[in-house]
Chain A
Amino acid sequence: MTTLLEEQVQAKVDLPLLANIHQAVELDEYYVMGHRTCAGCGPALSYRLACKAAGPNSIFLGPTGCMYVANTSYLCVPWAVPWMHTQITDAGAVVSGISAAYEARIRKGKYKGTFPNIYVFAGDGGSSDIGIQAASAMMYRDHDAIFICYDNECYSNTGIQTSAQTPYGAWTTFTPPGPKIPEAKKLFPKDFARGMIALHPAMQYAAAASISYPVDYMNKVRKAANIHGAALVHVHAICPKGWGLRANQVLLCGKLAVETGTFHLFEYENGEYTYQYQPKAFKPVTEYLKIQDRFAHLKPEHHQKIQEFINQGLKRCGIKIPVEAV
């Protein structure tokens, strides 16, 4: 009897899409025991789901970040597939090299298997901040690889510092609130996934997903893997420690991010955006903000400013369901 790996290495077949959570649960685990992440860690869950979706004919790259430091101990890593550390700066470059190596080695008869699915699993810093140059170059060159940005909206591993994805008004250890700066962080975050799509017209597939919608997320990972060329998945991965949440609030918080229009679930395919969450009405952002300690210092005027930012974002997406500012 041949194993799933042997089947996949002998002849490359597209990863089938999942119909429901039961099919997802039945998939084998390739992100396993041996890590040291916090209780309720959103990025760890996003890793586990991505590895289940990816299957055994995969290589994962981990630039420095939580999912490097909290996952690996020398001689003990929690992956049942090949994994490699990269610098936080250059995951896009290293994955390009691996992809190019497989292209050359298979073409020259130096490797006998099929082309593996090669994933970068980078935090928001390693994607949208210090890592953006290499990430952009990988997408520009259209290497056959998948770039997953697990977005916990801060540098959590180093002690909750602001990144380019940290939202306006959030407390971090680099943006503490005080009498002179009552709102804590003053800048609005980058729109990473859409920015990358705009920069790279050759990109065939990109998606934004959330750990609170696991089947949607895993299917987006599989679609990204099935593309021949560079693909991007931006996954919202809540950090309970950095955001001031209890472990059992993590998935609720992820849902509220989507239900308030703070984080959009979308797919970009064949030059078109589709939005997976379009309710009759979005909830006011206050419901999302009030459960997180990182926003506890905000005044009503700050909530209003955030609501206006969200409304503008929805408008830009063509989602015509504005929410009254509270």
Chain B
Amino acid sequence: MANEDVKVGRQAEEDKGALGDSRPGTIKFLTGLGAAAHALRMADIDVASSYPIRPYTGVMMMLSMMAARGELDLEFVHGEGEHGQLGIAHGASSAGARAMTGSSGVGVVYAMEVYSPISGGRCPVQMVIADRTLDPPGDFGSEHTDALSTRDQGWMLGWAHTPQEVFDNTLMYYRIGEDPRVYLPQMNCQDGYFISHIPQRVVVPTQEEVNSFLPPLEFPDALDPLNPLGHGPQIFPGQGHVLEATRVNAMMGTFPVIDEVVNDFNKRFGTSYDPFVEQYKCSDAEYVIFISGGHAFTGKFAVDHMREKGMKIGLVRTRWVRPWPTDYLADILSKFKAIGVVETNNSFGAARQCGILTLEVATTLYQCDNKPVLTAFMAGLGGEVIRLDEFYYMGDVLKDAAAKGSTERTAYWIGFHNV
């Protein structure tokens, strides 16, 4: 049953020689979970809280192994469930520790109560999420509905699309979340299996480089008998909206910090991340696929192939869902004729019968003078692969939509409407 997870463990075993190595720019062959574990090790986390659920479990297996070998000085606390995992991370962060936890699928939503207290307490916890479908039925495949269900709980929320990006995001998220202008928890998401379990080449910087990019956490309001403070008392009428406003301001205040941190990361590590939105072959594109997460990897190949056939298609990949980069996306998306949002999630009975991201994109475009044709592609549900031919189908729909100025449907179900 646990074959996939065991492989991750074995992967870590094979990496034994390289674990803890500080060769500059070491190249490792890592899964998304392996990449997260190595980045967390280099971030010198203090407390990790675990509970097993596929597919994210591998990151905890690797961290426990690093702790056992003495490669990371870590309090590895086994939670009594995901709700407890988040409680442990909440307490650890409140006491000034750099804390992490993680989960997948139903585990993510089992902890639902605790997300808002953590973000409202301004605790910069990081959570590694490898997406998994929600029940029913039992299914291990990747769907983003698990993490997207928490989008209203005040956490920063973003997806990587390669193990390298997982590694880099882990460091960048901590630096952003722990910035004194921010102090917010972060969900560091990757697609289950597609990213979490498929090894790719990852450049791992030196410990010195990481240290200079990510200084130790200085949490000013930590629980400390030398500095007695009360965390989280009841409020009175007339105070609630003020507190909610400060939470919104904290989230909206992340934009300049994200910009600054990602650019600093690019400068130090020679990467070329856009802080918010990746645009792939968009400069002369007339219609684009809008996407978040690991399927962008296949999507880019599909765009290459469709370009060879002369189609004016591009791909826009948002790196963040919270905060939603409204202004950036409005500028980018409003210049196209048609947009197709790939939804690896479901929102039953939502407006336009689409998923969650289309709602955000539609709202983003509402104020724009030019309103592209907008449709959704319900794809990858149940954790299915989105195949190249399915991306080609999306390309054909979008090409047609750009020419006609309309689409037949507000949402196309891949696996039904394309066959």
Give the interface of A toward B (CB within 8 A): 5, 8-9, 56-59, 61, 68-69, 72-77, 79-87, 89-105, 107-108, 110-111, 113, 116, 133-134, 136-137, 140-141
Contact = CB atoms under 8 A, between A and B. Distances in A.
Contacts of A105: 46, 95-97
Given A9-B226, A57-B225, A77-B233, A97 B99 contact: yes
Nearest to B232: A85
Interface string B264-300: 0000000000000000000000000000000000000
A68 B234 contact: yes
Interface stretch (B69-77, B150-158, B379-387): B69-77
B230 A90 contact: no
A84 to B, nearest CB: 4
30 contacts: A5-B225, A5-B226, A57-B225, A59-B225, A74-B234, A74-B236, A82-B230, A87-B113, A89-B87, A90-B86, A93-B80, A93-B87, A94-B91, A94-B94, A97-B77, A97-B93, A97-B94, A97-B95, A98-B92, A98-B94, A100-B47, A101-B91, A105-B96, A113-B224, A116-B224, A116-B225, A134-B80, A134-B83, A137-B79, A137-B84
A90 B79 CA distance: 11
A36 B224 CA distance: 25
Contacts of A83: 228-231
A156 B199 CA distance: 55
Contacts of B126: none
A89 B233 contact: no
B216 interface: yes
A176 to B, nearest CB: 29
Interface string B44-67: 101101000000000000000000
Given A104-B74, A134-B87, A97 B225 contact: no
A69 B47 CA distance: 30
A55 B78 CA distance: 30
A9 B226 CA distance: 8
Which A-B residue pairs are the 3 nearest by beta carbons? A97-B91, A93-B87, A72-B233
Given A84-B232, A85-B233, A94 B80 contact: no
A140 B80 CA distance: 10
B117 interface: yes
B75 A110 contact: no
Contacts of A85: 117, 231-233
Contact of A97 (B88, B230, B232): B88
Contact of B73 (A8, A97, A104): A104
Nearest to B75: A100
Contact of A87 (B96, B114, B229, B239): B114
A84 B113 contact: no
A77 B229 CA distance: 9
B80 A73 contact: no
Contact of B97 (A74, A94, A101): A101
A111 B97 CA distance: 10
A5 B225 CA distance: 8
A76 B80 CA distance: 33
A58 B225 CA distance: 6
Contacts of B232: 84-85
A179 B83 CA distance: 41
A141 B77 contact: yes
B73 A9 contact: no
Contacts of B233: 72-77, 85
Contacts of A99: 91
Given A74-B233, A97-B47, A84 B226 contact: no
Contacts of B80: 93, 133-134, 136-137, 140
B205 interface: no
Contacts of A8: 225
B48 to A, nearest CB: 9
A68 to B, nearest CB: 7
A309 B278 CA distance: 69
B92 A100 contact: yes
Nearest to B234: A72
Contacts of A86: 87, 90-91, 117
B88 A100 contact: yes
B230 A79 contact: yes
Interface in B230-276: 230-236, 239
Contacts of B20: none
Contacts of B86: 90, 93
A100 B81 contact: no
Contacts of A110: 46, 96, 216
B297 to A, nearest CB: 35
Contacts of A87: 87, 113-114, 117
B87 A108 contact: no
Contacts of A113: 224-226
A47 B268 CA distance: 53
Nearest to B239: A74
A90 B117 CA distance: 11
B341 interface: no
Interface centre among A8, A69, A102, A103, by most B CB within 10 Å?
A102
